[in-house]
């Protein structure tokens, strides 16, 4: 068990678990939009998410003048050149994969990529809005392969599920920022929690959790909404047991794992 946890911890540091979680979430939305996602598109999505998160960590690590306080940023500081080379390889891999991706998905992906590029250019100046933008881009990214090819009219799209998923992703990011607030202050890194403050962040987390949980009772997709609810309940447990989950970054390991849960609905 200890070996498994140690291995998963490294997957988390490298953001590989986030990339895999995005693929699971994409499959979740494919069922709601009644489409089939081709393997090439799924791989391209996971690789793209990994590139975005890794570049974001590298940019953050580069801004920290002293040894970073968090394991994630310290690793990217110490292995900056290696990770930069891996990012380049991943970008080249995606350059090959785009020849196999369906045209509607590719065209939609170009616009999303432009949004991501803009975020990476200005992310160092963002504080409160950073987590909101990341959550929005992540939600659009995992739903995009399905939205681009579905035959469902826009009015029939699972909008409530999309909102609930976005709120869950946002809660996840703000909760992480809340746990990391002291280390971010030490490293002079801006975040939602450092800008709003410890108490204000707690109120926002509670509000997001309550709203997302309440939306479950209005959903016309009870099964799908239930699996998102499960993720929110895990975030609630992490928040309520913050002393335990604050140790050894347990909050991050379990918090990122909630994006594997939606895959269960696809398997049913």
Q: pLDDT band at residue 146, thresholds of 50, 70 and 90?
A: very high
What average pLDDT does the chain have? Answer: 87
What is the pLDDT at residue 128? 64
Q: Which range (74-78, 158-162, 193-197) has the least confidence?
A: 193-197
Question: Distance (Å, rounded) from C-alpha 23 to C-alpha 39?
Answer: 10
Least reliable range by pLDDT among 42-51, 134-143, 194-203, 228-237: 194-203
Burial profile 66-75: b = 16 or more Cβ within 10 angstroms, e = fewer: eebbbbbbbb
Tens-place pLDDT, residues 168-205: 999 999 999 888 887 777 767 777 777 788 888 899 99
| pLDDT on residue 107 | 85
Query: For residue 71, how many C-alpha atoms fall within 13 Å in the half-sphere facing its CB?
Result: 13
Does 19 have pLDDT greater than 80?
yes
Please state, in angstroms and rounded to a whole number, the distance separating the CA atoms of residues 153 and 138: 22
- The pTM for the full model equals 0.91
Question: Is 146 exposed, middle or buried (CB count within 10 Å of its CB: 0-12, 13-18, 19+)?
Answer: buried
Q: Tell me the average pLDDT across 237-251.
A: 90
Q: What digits encode the pLDDT tens for the residues 27-41?
A: 999 999 999 988 888
Q: Where residue 132 falls among pLDDT bands split at 50, 70, 90?
A: confident
Among 122-131, 154-163, 178-187, name the most confident range.
154-163
Check residue 247 and report its DSSP letter: G
Residues 127/195, Cβ–Cβ less than 8 Å: yes
- 226-239: pLDDT as tens digits: 999 999 999 999 99
């Amino acid at each position: 068990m200890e070996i498994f946890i140690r291995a998963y911890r490294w997957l988390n540091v490298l953001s590989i678990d986030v990339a895999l979680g995005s693929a699971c979430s994409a499959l979740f939305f494919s069922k709601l939009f009644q489409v089939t996602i081709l393997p090439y598109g799924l791989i391209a999505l996971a690789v793209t998410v990994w590139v975005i998160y890794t570049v974001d960590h590298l940019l953050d690590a580069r801004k920290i003048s002293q040894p970073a306080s968090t394991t994630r940023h310290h690793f990217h500081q110490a292995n900056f050149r290696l990770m930069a080379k891996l990012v380049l390889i991943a970008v080249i891999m995606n350059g090959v994969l785009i020849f196999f991706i369906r045209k509607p998905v590719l065209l939609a992906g170009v616009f999303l990529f432009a949004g991501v590029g803009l975020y990476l250019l200005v992310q160092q100046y963002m504080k409160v809005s950073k987590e909101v933008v990341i959550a929005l881009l992540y939600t659009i990214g995992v739903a995009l392969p399905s939205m681009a090819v579905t035959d469902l009219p826009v009015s029939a799209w699972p909008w409530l599920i999309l909102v609930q998923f976005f709120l869950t992703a946002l809660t996840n990011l703000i909760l992480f920022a809340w746990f990391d607030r002291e280390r971010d202050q030490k490293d002079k890194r801006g975040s939602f929690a450092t800008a709003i403050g410890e108490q204000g962040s707690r109120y926002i987390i509670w509000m997001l959790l309550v709203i997302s949980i309440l939306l479950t009772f209005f959903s016309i997709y009870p099964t799908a909404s239930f699996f998102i609810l499960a993720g929110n309940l895990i975030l609630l447990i992490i928040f309520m047991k913050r002393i335990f989950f604050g140790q050894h970054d347990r909050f991050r390991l379990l918090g990122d794992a909630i994006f594997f849960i939606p895959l269960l609905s696809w398997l049913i």
